[in-house]
Structure 1
Amino acid sequence: MKKLHNYVLILSVLILAICCTAKTADKNSNDITGKTWKLIEINGQPIQLKNPKNNPYFKLNMTDMRYEGNAGCNGLGGTFEIKQDIMRIKFNQGISTMMACDDLEIEQRFTKALLAADNYSVSGKILSLNKAKMAPLAKFSLQE
């Protein structure tokens, strides 16, 4: 009987450890801050850049609650609000340079997607910015 009790105790500890590890992994996978996210898709379509060196991206800085990035050829930045526990995000209207460039349409769609997003989801190294429960506005890959 004592042997059975020991097995049950060990099994309980293992299950608890697995559950705690899974919760920590889920929480960390929802943390999109401090990372650079490169645009790969907008409104369900892969991006087609005339100049692939100018791939739009953004990064969230929790220290001052600011986002920064590049929309293609123009830099952009502003403030944001995030609730990681419920995966909600809001990009506030910010500033941008105003240079003319080859991929201006993608740049405008990228900026519009950021400002329209109200939630996000993460699957592996792919981040989706979403509006309500509609299809993703934009998808990004983690820049490593």
Structure 2
Amino acid sequence: MKTARLILAIALAVSVTACCSCRKGKKNAKPLTETTWAMVEWEGQPFKADNNYTLVFSKEKGRFGGRGDCNSIMGNYTLSDNGKIKIESVASTRAMCANQAQEDKFIKELDRVDSYRIDGDLLMLMHDGEMLMVMQAQDTTMK
């Protein structure tokens, strides 16, 4: 009888500890909305640009904004179950950039995004399960 109680107590302790560590991991994940996300990987390669490519998803309005090389980017998004996201009506200001082709491609890629995943401070934007880009949360979170 004592052995059964001991085994039950150990199993309970392990379960509680496991649940606590799961909650801790999720607690450290950055929220999709009101976080400034900067691109760190694109097309499977590390992404380094003099001007950060960024996105910020608004919490209440279903809108997003961001930056490319030299233009502001904006559009609408809709979230649904299981990490699905629809990004549409992507537009930008019209300044001519030194690397305009890259910025245009970035805008077209945003139109393809159909799902996302957040792992800690990384946001993965995907199309049909294929990784399109990885963005990292910046220290400044929108208020």
Bucket of the pairwise TM-score, normalised by the shorter protein: 0.7 to 0.9
- In the alignment, is residue 139 of structure 1 matched against residue 134 of structure 2? yes
Unaligned runs of 5+ in 1: none
1:1-144 counterparts in 2 under 5 A? Answer: 1=1, 5=5, 8-9=8-9, 11-12=11-12, 15-16=15-16, 18-19=18-19, 22-23=22-23, 25-26=25-26, 29=29, 31-49=31-49, 52=50, 54-83=51-80, 86-134=82-130, 136-144=131-139
What is the number of residues matched between the two proteins? 139
Higher strand share: 2
Letter in structure 2 aligned against 1:114:
L
TM-score, normalised relative to structure 2? 0.79
Letter in structure 2 aligned against 1:120:
Y
Unaligned runs of 5+ in 2: none
Distance, in Å, in 2 between the alignment partners of 1:47 and 1:17 is 38
Q: Which stretches of structure 1, 4 residues or longer, exceed 6 Å deviation after superposition? A: none
TM-score, normalised relative to structure 1? 0.78
SS in 2 for 1:143: strand
Distance, in Å, in 1 between the alignment partners of 2:31 and 2:58 is 12
CA contact (8 A) 1:30 1:121 kept: no
Per-residue CA deviations over 1:16-52 (Å, capped at 9, x if unaligned) read 4632651574476373222111012222233353xx1
Distance, in Å, in 1 between the alignment partners of 2:56 and 2:95 is 21
Change (3 A) 1:14 1:46: closer
SS in 2 for 1:33: coil
CA contact (8 A) 2:39 2:135 kept: yes
Distance, in Å, in 2 between the alignment partners of 1:37 and 1:120 is 13
- Once the two structures are aligned, what percentage of the paired residues are identical? 27
Question: Which deviates further from its counterpart, 13-22 or 66-75?
Answer: 13-22
SS in 2 for 1:102: coil
